[in-house]
Protein backbone atom coordinates (compact mmCIF):
# COMPACT_ATOMS: atom_id res chain seq x y z
CA UNK A 1 0.00 0.00 0.00
CA UNK A 2 1.15 3.50 -0.69
CA UNK A 3 1.28 6.12 2.05
CA UNK A 4 -2.04 7.68 1.12
CA UNK A 5 -3.81 4.30 0.95
CA UNK A 6 -2.52 3.30 4.36
CA UNK A 7 -3.70 6.63 5.79
CA UNK A 8 -7.29 6.07 4.62
CA UNK A 9 -7.38 2.31 5.34
CA UNK A 10 -10.22 1.21 7.64
CA UNK A 11 -10.34 -2.10 9.45
CA UNK A 12 -14.10 -2.69 9.14
CA UNK A 13 -13.96 -5.87 11.22
CA UNK A 14 -12.55 -3.95 14.19
CA UNK A 15 -15.44 -1.47 14.39
CA UNK A 16 -17.47 -1.70 17.59
CA UNK A 17 -21.24 -1.30 17.79
CA UNK A 18 -20.76 2.31 18.91
CA UNK A 19 -18.63 2.95 15.84
CA UNK A 20 -21.37 1.53 13.58
CA UNK A 21 -24.08 3.61 15.29
CA UNK A 22 -21.97 6.74 14.87
CA UNK A 23 -21.26 5.96 11.23
CA UNK A 24 -24.92 5.29 10.41
CA UNK A 25 -26.07 8.37 12.30
CA UNK A 26 -23.55 10.55 10.48
CA UNK A 27 -24.63 9.20 7.09
CA UNK A 28 -28.34 9.62 7.96
CA UNK A 29 -27.86 13.23 9.09
CA UNK A 30 -25.86 14.01 5.95
CA UNK A 31 -28.60 12.62 3.72
CA UNK A 32 -31.35 14.44 5.66
CA UNK A 33 -29.47 17.75 5.41
CA UNK A 34 -28.85 17.26 1.68
CA UNK A 35 -32.57 16.63 1.10
CA UNK A 36 -33.51 19.65 3.25
CA UNK A 37 -31.08 21.96 1.44
CA UNK A 38 -32.27 20.69 -1.96
CA UNK A 39 -35.89 21.39 -0.96
CA UNK A 40 -35.19 24.80 0.57
CA UNK A 41 -32.99 26.09 -2.24
CA UNK A 42 -35.15 24.87 -5.12
CA UNK A 43 -36.69 27.88 -6.91
CA UNK A 44 -39.96 25.98 -7.38
CA UNK A 45 -40.52 26.02 -3.58
CA UNK A 46 -39.61 29.68 -3.06
CA UNK A 47 -43.19 31.00 -2.91
CA UNK A 48 -44.34 28.35 -0.42
CA UNK A 49 -41.38 28.92 1.86
CA UNK A 50 -41.69 32.70 1.61
CA UNK A 51 -45.33 32.49 2.75
CA UNK A 52 -44.23 30.55 5.85
CA UNK A 53 -41.28 32.83 6.63
CA UNK A 54 -42.92 34.68 9.53
CA UNK A 55 -44.82 31.66 10.91
CA UNK A 56 -42.87 31.48 14.22
CA UNK A 57 -43.61 35.15 14.94
CA UNK A 58 -47.35 35.09 14.24
CA UNK A 59 -49.85 35.21 17.10
CA UNK A 60 -52.43 32.45 16.99
CA UNK A 61 -55.08 34.61 18.66
Local confidence band at 61 (pLDDT 50, 70, 90 cut-offs)? low
pTM across the whole model: 0.66
- Measure the CA–CA gap between 48 and 19, rounded to whole angstroms: 40
Q: Where are the alpha helices (DSSP H) in 1-61?
A: 3-7, 17-41, 46-51
pLDDT digits (tens, 9 = 90+) for 13-43: 999 999 999 999 999 999 999 999 998 888 8
Give me the pLDDT at residue 10, please: 87
Closest CA to 41 of 33, 54, 58: 33
Render pLDDT for 50-60 as a digit per residue (tens, 0 to 9).
Answer: 888 888 787 77
Compute the distance between CA of residue 1 and CA of residue 10 in angstroms, rounded to an integer.
Answer: 13
* Cα 23 from Cα 14, distance rounded (Å): 14
Amino acid sequence: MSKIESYFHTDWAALTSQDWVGLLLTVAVFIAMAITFFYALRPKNAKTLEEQRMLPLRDDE
